[in-house]
Amino acid sequence: MWVLKMLFWHTRSLTNTKVNNFTQRTLTGIGFVVVMVAAIVIHPMAFGVLFLAVTVLGMLEFYRLVLQAHDASPDRVAGLFGGIFLYGLVFSVAAGFLGEEWLIMSLVILPLVTIKELFTGSSRPFSNIAFTLLGILYIAVPLSLLNCFYTPWRYPHESDFAFILGFFVILWLNDTGAYLIGKAAGRHLLFPRISPKKTWEGIAGGLLAGLLAAWGLSRFFPQLTLAGWMIMAILIIFFSTLGDLVESMMKRSVQVKDSGNLLPGHGGILDRFDGVLLSSPVVFIYLYMLLNP
């Protein structure tokens, strides 16, 4: 009898844990979406400040993961300075405070990072420089480009948030569809060596949800045609999925489950924005080519 009681309480404990985790994940997700949408709609400046903080936190997570690998010591000070400097330049150009020619100033980051390594006395200077620059390229560049989605190259509707809001709506619904369908019907693994939980069924669910989001956006935001929104959705879904796999690959290399614990139920900044990091530059190129024939 006591064995049955122990099994009952153990099962109940596991169930309560799963419910609590799901509740925590849901509440965090709702709060996250509310803050993001508010920043997007209120003003490009609010969005810019929010994502400057996201950039800094994401770079700190990245450098911490690299340090855990025990094969390099990236210069976090130089990396953060370079990332903030680059982000500030892109934001200022996107907002119209500076001309596009000012972006050439970002080239000073490379010599500054490499010269600073001269004074560290490290036995692995090439690895340190490479990982320091990778933090800027992998995180600061794509997150800074999001600011350009507001006023893409003097598009007639100044401060129009259609593209940046549409980008995240498609991304979020893709993630939600992939998660729900993957949980309910996932059977065939997509990339078991890297992500043992991601399935082809989940990918199909995310694709369907993302395309439905693109259809809905085309009804409310005529800045792009239905075909334009659909192509944008396909690019986001494809490259955000790869971004998720790349981040999983990095976490496996240092044997951690999450990149951090800043967002309860979701992990860290890199866990939450992994899809953005690879899809943002591609969507930027797509919009640039589409709106500047």
Task: Please check whether residues 83 and 141 belong to one and the same domain.
Answer: yes
pLDDT > 70? residue 11: no
Average pLDDT of the segment spanning 196-208:
89
pLDDT > 90? residue 5: no
Range of the domain at 122: 43-150
**d(C-alpha 133, C-alpha 141), whole Å:** 11
**d(C-alpha 264, C-alpha 256), whole Å:** 16
> Count of alpha carbons within 13 Å of 57, Cβ hemisphere only?
18
Examine residue 269 and state whether it is found in any structural domain, yes or no: yes
**Confidence at residue 80, expressed as pLDDT on a 0 to 100 scale:** 96
* Cα 205–Cα 208–Cα 214 angle in degrees, nearest 5: 140
Examine residue 136 and state whether it is found in any structural domain, yes or no: yes
The answer to whether residues 232 and 217 touch, using CB atoms and an 8 Å cutoff, is: no
Examine residue 1 and state whether it is found in any structural domain, yes or no: no
User: Helix, strand or coil for residue 265?
Assistant: coil
Average pLDDT of the segment spanning 259-267:
65
pLDDT > 90? residue 198: no
**d(C-alpha 247, C-alpha 259), whole Å:** 9
Question: What are the pLDDT digits (tens) for 71-122?
Answer: 778 899 999 999 999 999 999 998 888 888 999 999 999 999 999 888 887 7
**Confidence at residue 263, expressed as pLDDT on a 0 to 100 scale:** 63
**d(C-alpha 262, C-alpha 259), whole Å:** 9
Examine residue 20 and state whether it is found in any structural domain, yes or no: no
Average pLDDT of the segment spanning 3-27:
51
pLDDT > 50? residue 13: no
Question: What are the pLDDT digits (tens) for 141-195?
Answer: 999 999 999 865 444 444 578 999 999 999 999 999 998 998 888 788 888 888 7
Task: Please check whether residues 69 and 197 belong to one and the same domain.
Answer: no
124 — pLDDT class (breaks 50, 70, 90)? confident
Task: Please check whether residues 123 and 218 belong to one and the same domain.
Answer: no
- Work out the mean pLDDT of the chain and round it to a whole number: 85
Task: Please check whether residues 275 and 189 belong to one and the same domain.
Answer: yes
pLDDT > 50? residue 2: no
Block residue for tokens 């803050």: 35
User: Helix, strand or coil for residue 199?
Assistant: strand
The answer to whether residues 263 and 32 touch, using CB atoms and an 8 Å cutoff, is: yes
**Confidence at residue 10, expressed as pLDDT on a 0 to 100 scale:** 41
Task: Please check whether residues 176 and 260 belong to one and the same domain.
Answer: yes
Domain's final residue, options 126, 150, 174:
150
Task: Please check whether residues 111 and 166 belong to one and the same domain.
Answer: no
| Overall number of domains in the chain | 2
Task: Please check whether residues 192 and 284 belong to one and the same domain.
Answer: yes
Q: What is the DSSP letter of 119?
A: G
Block residue for tokens 């996932």: 186
Which residues, in sequence order, are bridge partners of residue 191?
Answer: 195
**Confidence at residue 193, expressed as pLDDT on a 0 to 100 scale:** 81
Domain's final residue, options 118, 133, 150:
150
The answer to whether residues 72 and 130 touch, using CB atoms and an 8 Å cutoff, is: yes
The answer to whether residues 194 and 252 touch, using CB atoms and an 8 Å cutoff, is: yes
Residues 6+ apart with CB under 8 A from 134: 62
Average pLDDT of the segment spanning 120-130:
86
Task: Please check whether residues 103 and 224 belong to one and the same domain.
Answer: no
**d(C-alpha 135, C-alpha 87), whole Å:** 13
User: Helix, strand or coil for residue 263?
Assistant: strand
The answer to whether residues 136 and 76 touch, using CB atoms and an 8 Å cutoff, is: no
Examine residue 103 and state whether it is found in any structural domain, yes or no: yes
Examine residue 54 and state whether it is found in any structural domain, yes or no: yes
pLDDT > 50? residue 290: yes
Task: Please check whether residues 54 and 171 belong to one and the same domain.
Answer: no
293 — pLDDT class (breaks 50, 70, 90)? low
Domain's final residue, options 150, 180, 215:
150
**Confidence at residue 188, expressed as pLDDT on a 0 to 100 scale:** 81
Tell me whether strands 195-199 and 189-191 are parallel, antiparallel or unpaired.
antiparallel
Task: Please check whether residues 165 and 249 belong to one and the same domain.
Answer: yes
**d(C-alpha 98, C-alpha 102), whole Å:** 7
* Cα 35–Cα 39–Cα 42 angle in degrees, nearest 5: 130
Task: Please check whether residues 170 and 146 belong to one and the same domain.
Answer: no
Examine residue 237 and state whether it is found in any structural domain, yes or no: yes
**Confidence at residue 262, expressed as pLDDT on a 0 to 100 scale:** 65
Q: Tell me which H or E stretch contains 190.
A: strand 189-191
Examine residue 201 and state whether it is found in any structural domain, yes or no: yes
The pTM of the full predicted model, rounded to 2 decimals, is 0.87
Task: Please check whether residues 292 and 162 belong to one and the same domain.
Answer: yes
